[in-house]
Amino acid sequence: MNQHISYPEGGEKIKIDGDRIVVPDNPILGYVEGDGIGPDITAACMRVWDAAVEQAYGGKRKVHWAELFMGEKAAGLYDGDYFPEETQRALEDLVVSIKGPLTTPVGGGFRSLNVALRQKLDLYACVRPVRHYAGVPSPLKHPEDVDVVIFRENTEDVYAGIEYQSGAEDNKKFADFLKNEMGETFWEDAGFGVKPISPFGSKRLVRKAIQYAIDHNRESVTLVHKGNIMKFTEGAFRTWGYEVARDEFGEHTITEEELYSTYGGKRPEGKIVIKDRIADIIFQLMLLRPNEFDVLATMNLNGDYLSDACAAEVGGIGIAPGANMSDNVAVFEATHGTAPKYAGQDKVNPGSLLFSGVMMLEYIGWQEAADLITAAYQKVVTNGIVTYDFARQIEGATEVKTSQFGDAIIDQMRGKVDLEKYQQQREEAIEQERKEREERRVKNPLEEMVASGRIPHTVGDLMNPGPVSVPASTTVEDAMHLMRERRISSVICQPESDGGEWGIMTQRDVLSRIVSANRSPNSVKVGEVATRPLVTVQVDMTLHDCAEKMSTGNIRRVVVMDANNQPVGIISDTDIFASVEQFGLPE
């Protein structure tokens, strides 16, 4: 029996069936209004969410809200308990909830209430969509290019709380162990933080990110890491991420390496590209080429930095939404704090909580209601009706209160938003951008790959794809025409019979074996002058190994073979030279 929580009559609970949630038309959703500015923004947002659902479904669907208690309100009701047991049970029981910001109680036995919530419910994924809304002030020239969803791991990394303070007894024990047993060296009295990163924790996070990309027709998932320095934690995260993609989503995914080596930069319909980027480079890329990225999967610390930095590109933390999720429970939340100096003034921007609610509506599959709010919000802000924080940045804006801002969105939704047009425009814009990116990749694979932050590692990254092959019976004259037409300096000679050997005929072969020998090119077959056996390398060979093979064999170009032993490209010493000159020798 609950002390203070009761479920509204007429509502039904959301259920979990396998790995899918089953949402009735009258779901009970939990809400925690939060501390400080929490009650102001929660009141305004609940009116907007309800109005959107009413407008989208004409009464056929309705949210039944159950109030849950955390923070100061809970402490008042439950005798000083900031996170009562029954709230935890209700969050699990109701599956989907939303919460305002919470004050961290001083001396309440928690590092932070939000951390306690994540730990107790094992909400292992922090999901932060970051996109620009028309009218919102931004420091970028093209903020509309930013449209990513960040999946940040919530339970591991240096945030796991395994820390030993300088001078403390346990610190000395730990330091002794490291020095005496492990032979490590460090400065005297160093404090320590341990960074656990496990296959289990990494894989479940990446799995969720890939599943999201599949469900939402996203183009790519990028694993963000600093694996070049922290090989067994951040590097391992990258390795495990690729493993999940290959082992569990092989049908749906290709790697970025395959995108270039096998598909020449053209993404096969419906496939999600799995790629990875070094953490520090991703910050630069999210400023310079944000539209290269779609879904980002990160460890805890990198994700913390990255989500706030990306949010700042498109309007800041005042409107950035978020959610924390496990496989069975999702808690959506405002990402800012309680801003105590504004509490009760009906003043602040409700955007962060509002869009967390939009995420929540999308999560339960009520996309039409979510889109109505998004479309109406942009119209209202574009018309210059904003709260104080945006009013400071937009000249000539009309400053309104939190509740008035909510009213303006509701007015806009009631009759004045052409939802279909909004949805169609957004889909067309996304499609158009994808096409443009693909065209660039296909036209100039190497340049695009490098500009998008991928450093060539393997032969497949660097080769010139689509080598031209001819039957051995082709005359040298015909092959010469073909080479001139295609502007290539060699052709590959197909095997003369099953199990026969591939060969190669270069311009030099024609000069030395035909022209200087005074033979007529139309009377000699390519098979007679081609060099065999063809020196080949596998598409995933490293540049280092390829260079070694070339220098040992004293040859200037080799043919690249795929897993089925078919030629898929050619790589020359000049290609490797140019790459190493520009990027250095890859790790």
User: If binding is defined by CB under 6 A, does position 337 make contact with ligand NAP?
Assistant: yes
- Residue 268 or 340: the one with the smaller Cβ distance to ligand NAP is 340
Contacts of 485 (CB under 8 A, 6+ apart): none
Give dist(CA 568, CA 262) in Å, integer. 7
Q: Which region holds residue 46: left if phi is over 0, alpha if psi is between -120 and 50, else beta?
A: alpha
Give the shortest CB-353-to-ligand NAP separation in angstroms. 8
Question: Could you say which of 31, 82, 133, 159 is catalytic?
Answer: 159
Residue nearer to ligand NAP on the CB measure, 389 or 509: 389
Q: How far is the CB of 5 from ligand NAP (least distance, A)?
A: 20
Nearest to 103 by CA among 124, 132, 74, 130: 74
The identity of residue 263, as a single letter, is Y
Looking at beta carbons only, is 72 or 243 nearer to ligand NAP?
A: 72
Taking CB under 6 A as the criterion, the residue among 101, 241, 456, 503 binding ligand NAP is 101
Q: Which of 226, 275, 347, 379 is catalytic?
A: 226
Cβ-based nearer residue to ligand NAP, 126 or 491 = 126
Give me the phi and psi of 173, to 5 degrees please.
Answer: -60, -45
In whole angstroms, the minimum distance from the beta carbon of 244 to ligand NAP comes to 29
Interactions with ligand NAP, residue window 109-128 (CB under 6 A): 114
* Member of 102, 278, 325, 386 binding ligand NAP (CB under 6 A): 102
Pick between residue 46 and residue 282 the one whose CB is nearest to ligand NAP.
46
Instruction: Tell me whether residue 57 or residue 342 sits nearer to ligand NAP (CB atom).
Output: 342
Residue 310 and residue 130 in contact, taking contact as beta carbons nearer than 8 Å: yes
First to last CA, the chain: 60
Question: Which of these ranges, 97-105, 284-292, 411-419, 466-474, lies near ligand NAP under the rule CB under 6 A?
Answer: 97-105
CB of 409 to ligand NAP, least distance (A): 15
Q: 341 or 435: whose CB is closer to ligand NAP? A: 341
Instruction: Catalytic residue, from 304, 411, 540, 573: name it.
Output: 304
Q: Which of residues 316-335 bind ligand NAP (CB under 6 A)?
A: 318, 333
C-alpha span between 130 and 307 (Å, rounded): 8
For 49-169, where are the E strands, in sequence order?
A: 64-67, 96-99, 125-131, 147-153, 163-164
**Contact flag: residue 389 with ligand NAP (CB under 6 A):** yes
Q: Tell me which long-range contacts 1-6 makes (C-beta under 8 A, separation of at least 24).
A: 2/86, 2/90, 3/77, 3/78, 3/84, 3/86, 4/69, 4/77, 4/78, 4/84, 4/86, 5/66, 5/67, 5/68, 5/69, 5/86, 5/87, 5/90, 6/66
Which residue among the candidates 25, 176, 280, 418 is catalytic per the annotation? 280
Question: Could you give the string, one character per residue 9-48, with x where binding to ligand NAP holds by CB under 6 A and - elsewhere?
Answer: ----------------------------x-----------
Whole-number minimum distance, CB 349 to ligand NAP, in Å?
Answer: 3
Q: What residues have CB less than 8 Å from 281, skipping those under 6 apart?
A: 453
40 is catalytic: no
- Which span sits near ligand NAP by CB under 6 A: 344-352, 413-421, 452-460, 517-525? 344-352
Please list the residues that pair with 504 across neighbouring strands.
Answer: 492, 531
Q: Is 314 exposed, middle or buried (CB count within 10 Å of its CB: 0-12, 13-18, 19+)?
A: buried
Could you tell me whether strands 398-399 and 385-386 are parallel, antiparallel, or unpaired per DSSP bridges? parallel
Q: Which of 339, 491, 492, 546 binds ligand NAP (CB under 6 A)?
A: 339
Long-range contacts of the stretch 254-258 (C-beta < 8 A, 24+):
256/220, 256/449, 256/454, 257/457, 257/458, 257/460, 257/461, 257/540, 258/460
The reply to whether 224 sits near ligand NAP by the rule CB under 6 A is: no
Distance CA 98, CA 27 (A): 13
The smaller minimum CB distance to ligand NAP, of residues 114 and 261, is found at 114
User: 280 an active-site residue?
Assistant: yes
User: Quick one: which of 238, 336, 379, 454 contacts ligand NAP (CB under 6 A)?
Assistant: 336
- What number of chain residues touch ligand NAP (CB under 6 A)? 17
According to DSSP, residue 159 is labeled G
Query: Which CB sits closer to ligand NAP, 265 or 316?
Result: 316
For ligand NAP, give the closer residue by CB, 24 or 337: 337
CB of 160 to ligand NAP, least distance (A): 19
Choices 100-108, 439-447, 527-535, 561-569 (CB under 6 A): range interacting with ligand NAP: 100-108
Which residues, including other chains, have CB under 8 Å from residue 30's CB and lie 6 or more apart?
65, 66, 67, 68, 90, 91, 94, 96, 97, 98
Find the residue with minimal CB distance to ligand NAP. 337
Catalytic-residue membership of 7: no
Q: What is the DSSP letter of 112?
A: -
CB of 338 to ligand NAP, least distance (A): 4
Determine if 104 is a binding residue for ligand NAP (CB under 6 A).
yes
Rounded CA gap, 41 and 39, in Å? 6
338 binds ligand NAP (CB under 6 A): yes
Site for ligand NAP in 265-284 (CB under 6 A): none
The residues, any chain, with a CB within 8 Å of residue 199's CB and separated by 6 or more, are: 236, 240
Query: In angstroms, rounded to a whole number, what is the distance separating the alpha carbons of residues 454 and 276?
Result: 8
Angle at 92 between CA 45 and CA 361, to 5 degrees: 35
CB of 191 or CB of 340, closer to ligand NAP: 340
The reply to whether 406 sits near ligand NAP by the rule CB under 6 A is: no
Q: How far apart are CA 396 and CA 375, in angstroms?
A: 22
Shortest distance (Å) from residue 45 CB to ligand NAP: 11
Distance CA 300, CA 307 (A): 11
**What sign does the CA torsion over 257, 263, 264, 266 have?**
negative
Minimum distance, C-beta of residue 93 to ligand NAP, in the bound complex (Å) = 22
Q: How far is the CB of 305 from ligand NAP (least distance, A)?
A: 15
Q: Point out which span in 85-93, 346-354, 478-486, 545-553 binds ligand NAP (CB under 6 A).
A: 346-354
Q: Which residues of the chain form contacts with ligand NAP (CB under 6 A)? A: 37, 101-104, 114, 318, 333, 336-340, 348-349, 352, 389
Residues catalogued as catalytic: 159, 226, 280, 304
